[in-house]
Amino acid sequence: MNSPNGDRLFSGSIAQLYEQYLVPLIFDPLAKDLANRLASLQPSAVLEIAAGTGAVTRHMVDKLPADVSIVATDLNQPMLDHAMSIGTSRSVTWQQADAMSLPFEDGTFDAVVCQFGAMFFPDKATAFAEARRVLRPGGTFLFNVWDRIEDNEFAECVTQAMAGLFPTDPPRFLARLPHGYYDQGTIAAALDYGGFTGAKVFDTVTAQSLAESPRMVAIAYCQGTPLRNEIEARDASILGKATDVAAAAIGQRFGVGQVSGKIQAIVIAATRNA
């Protein structure tokens, strides 16, 4: 899947807004789910890739025994910097790393975890092969991806609002990338190509996303994701208006005051056989 470089750029104030608005809105409930699944595997050494601002990392620290080592990585240093500024209740190794070329020896970890990062990998099979390489035999690659945008109501509503604001060239970041990699056959084929040729488990998880107001949802998506890069590329002065338009659309569909919308993801577990 080809997409602009801005799709993967989490810079400037995006990291702070991402953590402040988007993490509690959509990431935290599913981070808890992923950490619970990981804990059931009883790993001794865990690598997290595409850790972002540390939503899953913090839950792993809470769920895993203190003697389990955790290395949390991300391609974007500003995201890691923000994660480190928040901190964790015990020691975590934070390290900038590209999932396409991990700086770790073969067979170093018995679990590799990734929350909503696989969609951003330019070559999925290569990234999956790297995850397999650093896993010990019998280790598990545990990750999740967003389901189609139609099953994620806030993201769909914001995307439709942006199409109304930019009718001739609508920003399609949310549909194209975060919600563009959900076909289970496609994911399974990339895992196979990456060396995960054994059984794979796919599990669909549905939850409710809550926000104190429609505006909080609009800020989360329009300013706390690379959708912001697309909006500002069209008109650098229009980010505020775009946020207002998105907030109005959320309010019209979901009501004023506290709002709730469906979110849906797919959790995948693949084991390294040998």
- pLDDT band per the 50, 70, 90 thresholds, residue 209: very high
Q: Is the dihedral of CA 251, 254, 260, 261 positive or negative?
A: negative
- At 43-95, the pLDDT tens digits run 999 999 999 999 999 999 999 999 999 999 999 999 999 999 999 999 999 99
- Which DSSP category does 4 fall into? -
Using the predicted structure, report yes or no on whether residue 3 has a pLDDT greater than 50: no
pLDDT of residue 12: 53
Please state, in angstroms and rounded to a whole number, the distance separating the CA atoms of residues 178 and 253.
Answer: 22
Please state, in angstroms and rounded to a whole number, the distance separating the CA atoms of residues 113 and 51.
Answer: 9
Please state, in angstroms and rounded to a whole number, the distance separating the CA atoms of residues 265 and 274.
Answer: 29
Q: Per the structure block, which two tokens stand in for 18?
A: 């991402």
CATH 3.40.50.700 describes domain 5-271: no
pLDDT of residue 16: 84
| Residues 6+ away with beta carbon under 8 Å from 97 | 49, 73, 74, 75, 103
Query: What is the dihedral angle through the alpha carbons of 228, 208, 199, 37, rounded to the nearest 10 degrees?
Result: 100
> Is 144:30 a contact under the CB 8 Å cutoff?
yes
Q: What percent of the chain has pLDDT over 90?
A: 90
Q: Per the structure block, which two tokens stand in for 248?
A: 């109005």
Question: What is the rounded average pLDDT of the residues 204-211?
Answer: 97
Using the predicted structure, report yes or no on whether residue 8 has a pLDDT greater than 90: no
Angle of helix 239-254 relative to helix 214-223, nearest 10 degrees? 140
pLDDT of residue 7: 47
| b/e 34-59 (16+ beta carbons within 10 angstroms → b) | bbebbbebebebbbbbbbbbbbbbbb
> What Rg, from alpha-carbon coordinates, does the chain have?
18
Place of tokens 């794979």: 200
Q: Per the structure block, which two tokens stand in for 26?
A: 């959509």
Instruction: Tell me what the pLDDT averaged over the chain comes to.
Output: 94
Please state, in angstroms and rounded to a whole number, the distance separating the CA atoms of residues 90 and 92.
Answer: 7
Question: What is the rounded average pLDDT of the residues 5-24?
Answer: 72
pLDDT of residue 119: 96
Q: What percent of the chain has pLDDT over 70?
A: 95
- At 109-155, the pLDDT tens digits run 999 999 999 999 999 999 999 999 999 999 999 999 999 999 999 99
